[in-house]
């Protein structure tokens, strides 16, 4: 699993696994709003990295970022 340390959000860590063909296989947020982040994780599991990163980029909550935006950054870093 890859680990990403988000900034400016409540989640302390994002862990994810991506298949060789770019499909999100597993994702876990450490900290943050468990219900919302578990929902996001369930929705994007099985999706292509590029599609998820594009859809989530720029979503803001506070500090001009959000957990989805930070996940977008993590996925783009990985690619």
Residues 9-50 have pLDDT tens digits of: 999 999 999 999 999 999 999 999 999 999 999 999 999 999
pTM of the model: 0.94
Query: Please, what is the end-to-end C-alpha distance for the chain in angstroms?
Result: 14
Q: Which two tokens stand for residue 52?
A: 């998820």
Choose among 23, 6, 56: nearest CA to 15: 6
Residue 4: HSE in the Cβ half-sphere, 13 Å Cα cutoff? 23
Residues 3-12 have pLDDT tens digits of: 999 999 999 9
- In the chain, what are the domain boundaries? 2-78
Contacts of 18 (CB under 8 A, 6+ apart): 2, 24, 25, 49, 75, 78
């Amino acid at each position: 699993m890859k680990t990403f340390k988000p900034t400016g959000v409540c989640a302390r860590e994002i862990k994810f696994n991506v298949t060789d063909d770019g499909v999100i296989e597993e994702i876990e947020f450490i900290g943050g709003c468990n219900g919302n982040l578990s929902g996001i994780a369930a929705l994007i599991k099985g999706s292509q990295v590029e599609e998820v990163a594009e859809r989530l980029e720029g979503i803001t909550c506070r500090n001009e970022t959000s957990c989805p935006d930070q996940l977008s950054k993590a996925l783009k870093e990985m690619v």
